[in-house]
């Protein structure tokens, strides 16, 4: 079983993803727990998808829970080296870029739907996704994250 969720940098990322979700959306993505390792494990094993990327000019994925890794058909190492734009097919990348710009400007969006593609070329439509900005402990934006529980293979 994948254990990357145990690494210190991943624990910090999970903390920021969960805290930012709560701050911006006013709900908890998971029931709160004082033990960050428990939170990280629960997020990694959650039955819904959670992904995140950084703030580089061409953002690279830096988190994907087990559901995301299965959906995109990648292991942790491959997933966290992938520019996030490659989660969408070339014709859909412009629409995806507009979505992320809107999230940057407004903090979050809900009910997003769009087509994505796995490493092996399987296309799937995500439904009712929430996408939000992720902030670090100093309040600086350090990425964006998304979660969804519904998708359909096309």
- Which of 120, 121, 122 lies closest to 152, judged by CA? 122
77 is written with which tokens?
């190492």
Give the Cα separation of 96 and 75 in Å (integer).
23
User: Does this model's pTM top 0.95?
Assistant: no
How confident is the model over 42-81, as pLDDT tens digits? Answer: 999 999 999 999 999 999 999 999 999 999 999 999 999 9
Domain boundaries along the sequence of the chain: 4-153
CATH (residue range 4-153): 3.30.450.20
């Amino acid at each position: 079983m994948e254990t990357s969720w145990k690494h210190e940098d991943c624990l910090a990322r999970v903390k920021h993803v969960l805290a930012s979700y709560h701050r911006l959306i006013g709900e908890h993505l998971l029931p709160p727990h004082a033990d960050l390792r428990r939170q990280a494990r629960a997020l990694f094993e959650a039955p819904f998808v959670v992904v995140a990327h950084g703030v580089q000019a061409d953002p690279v994925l830096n988190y994907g829970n087990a559901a995301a890794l299965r959906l995109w058909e990648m292991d942790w190492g491959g997933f966290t080296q992938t520019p996030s734009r490659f989660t969408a097919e070339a014709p859909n990348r412009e629409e995806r870029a507009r979505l992320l710009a809107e999230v940057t400007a407004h903090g979050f969006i809900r009910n997003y739907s769009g087509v994505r593609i796995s490493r092996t070329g399987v296309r799937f439509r995500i439904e009712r996704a929430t996408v939000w900005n992720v902030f670090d402990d100093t309040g600086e934006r350090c990425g964006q994250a998304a979660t969804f529980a519904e998708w359909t293979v096309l």
